[in-house]
Amino acid sequence: AIILGIETSCDETAAAIVVRDQFGHSTIRSNVVRSQLDEHAAFGGVVPELAARAHVTYLDHIIAQACREADIALADIDAIAATAGPGLVGGVLVGLTTAKALAAALDKPLLAINHLEAHALTARMTDGVAFPYLMLLVSGGHSQFVLVRGVGDYERWGTTIDDALGEAFDKVAKLLTLGHPGGPAVEAVARQGDPRRFKFPRPLLREARLDFSFSGLKTAVRLQAEALAPLSDQDVADIAASFQATVAEIIAFRSTQALQRFKAELPDAKPQLVVAGGVAANRTIASALSTACQAEGAALIVPPIALCTDNGAMVAWAGAERFALGVRDPLDVTARPRWPLDLPDMKVATNVT
């Protein structure tokens, strides 16, 4: 099937055309992403009203471009998938309403996609990963472990109780005046730094649950920066490197625990850890994860970074997987700013692997 995917839940206006054949193989025919970094840069974060307006301005053009690059006419599309949540409701409404209008005008089925499901299924599109697997989603808005048993069949094993990991990178970058988005900036200066100079706390790690907490760590980083002020370039690099080493250790430690639980609860399954979200780009974290997976005899799957961050192809793919299972959503489906993955209404009647 040929699926158009639309993503507008945060600060990326994105559209893509993905083809899924009857064997479950994918071809990304186009994947157009317009990031709004410039619009929000001056504010140090995403401004919801500005984001929604930018989606209104650009989405039509992005969809047209996705069709053009794919060399596929709107009439040839089999279904239209759009993110229906979770996310900033103004943006979600722009994408979802556009998808509804296209579905009505073209008389094609609509698929209302959970953004987290799109992240969760991406590795099946890029790497053909079979169910079940453990997903670690680490982005600007989310940090969670999800057991992915099948399309629509998710169990959340842990989450952050305060900040998301990408958010922690962004806040640390801000207090070190490294700019936005913070992840790449922190990683760049950390290369010149000493990761052992500062010992930062690892909140919650003593507790057995698979949750994260990054807000106390961020405060410890701030207090350290204040104590040393004014900061030399070396101080900044050392703080960034020590922070990054600490979060890498936290992520690897929790992933080890999550994989151990996976092996205990699903003894017949091959242990696999799939990473999603923009923080997957971080080399220090990726290498800590790779060590952890090796020690647990688990496969580590990290899709190409352009597909780990928000994009239309992942939404199209989630739509394709649902479409293949017979899912069709009504045109009056609503946008859902909050929409956890493990709600029963995510479930699909038939499940295949």
- Contacting residues toward Mg ion, per CB under 5 A: 10-11, 310
In this structure, what token pair is assigned to residue 27? 């071809």
* Residue 182 vs 203, nearer CB to ligand ATP: 182
What does the longest C-alpha to C-alpha distance in the chain come to? 63
**Rounded alpha-carbon distances, angstroms, from residue 331 to 1, 3, 52, 58, 130:** 20, 17, 21, 23, 31
Q: Is 281 in the site for ligand ATP (CB under 6 A)?
A: yes
* CB 174 to Fe ion: min, Å: 20
Residue from 211, 235, 310, 329 binding ligand ATP (CB under 6 A): 310
Nearer to Mg ion, 42 or 264 (CB): 42
Between 222 and 270, name the residue whose CB sits nearer to ligand ATP.
222
Angle in degrees, 0-180, between the axes of helices 233-265 and 182-190, rounded to the nearest 10 = 110
Calpha distance 347→74 (Å, rounded): 29
Q: How far is the CB of 210 from ligand ATP (least distance, A)?
A: 18
Cα(85)–Cα(346) distance, rounded to whole angstroms?
A: 12
Enclosing H/E stretch for 225: helix 215-228
Does residue 278 have a known ligand-binding role? Answer: no
Query: Of 91 and 319, which has the nearer Cβ to Mg ion?
Result: 91
Dist CA 80 CA 17 (whole Å): 10
Instruction: For residue 40, say whether it is annotated as part of any ligand binding site.
Output: no
Say if residue 319 carries a ligand binding annotation: no
Q: Which of 58, 133, 157, 169 binds ligand ATP (CB under 6 A)?
A: 169
Give the position of tokens 């890029």: 126
Task: Tell me which of Mg ion, Fe ion, ligand ATP, none is bound by residue 169, counting a contact when its beta carbon lies within the kind-specific cut-off of 5 to 8 angstroms.
Answer: ligand ATP
Known binding residue 186? Answer is no
Residue 141 known to bind ligand? yes
Q: How far apart are CA 231 and CA 197, in angstroms?
A: 14
Mapping DSSP to helix (H, G, I), strand (E, B) and coil, where does residue 232 land? coil
The answer to whether residue 139 forms part of the interface with ligand ATP (CB under 6 A) is yes
- Contact flag: residue 158 with ligand ATP (CB under 6 A): no
* Measured distance CA(157)–CA(115) in Å, rounded: 18
DSSP state of 20: E
Q: How far apart are CA 315 and CA 169, in angstroms?
A: 26
Question: Least distance (Å) from ligand ATP to the CB of residue 261?
Answer: 24
Residue type for position 86: P
Annotation-wise, does 142 bind a ligand?
no
Which residues on adjacent β-strands are paired with residue 27?
19
Quote the least distance from Cβ 149 to ligand ATP, whole Å: 22
Tell which one of 14, 259, 279, 293 touches ligand ATP (CB under 6 A).
279
How far apart are CB 76 and Mg ion at their closest, in Å? 30
Residues 57-116 that bind ligand ATP (CB under 6 A): 87
Q: What is d(CA 52, CA 232) in angstroms, rounded to the nearest whole number?
A: 39
Interface stretch with ligand ATP, choices 22-30, 73-81, 105-113, 272-280 (CB under 6 A): 272-280
Does 139 count as an annotated binding residue? yes
**Residues at the site binding ligand ATP, with contacts judged by CB under 6 A:** 10, 87, 139-142, 166-167, 169-170, 181-184, 187, 277-279, 281-282, 309-310
Binding residues for substrate: 137-141, 170, 183, 187, 282
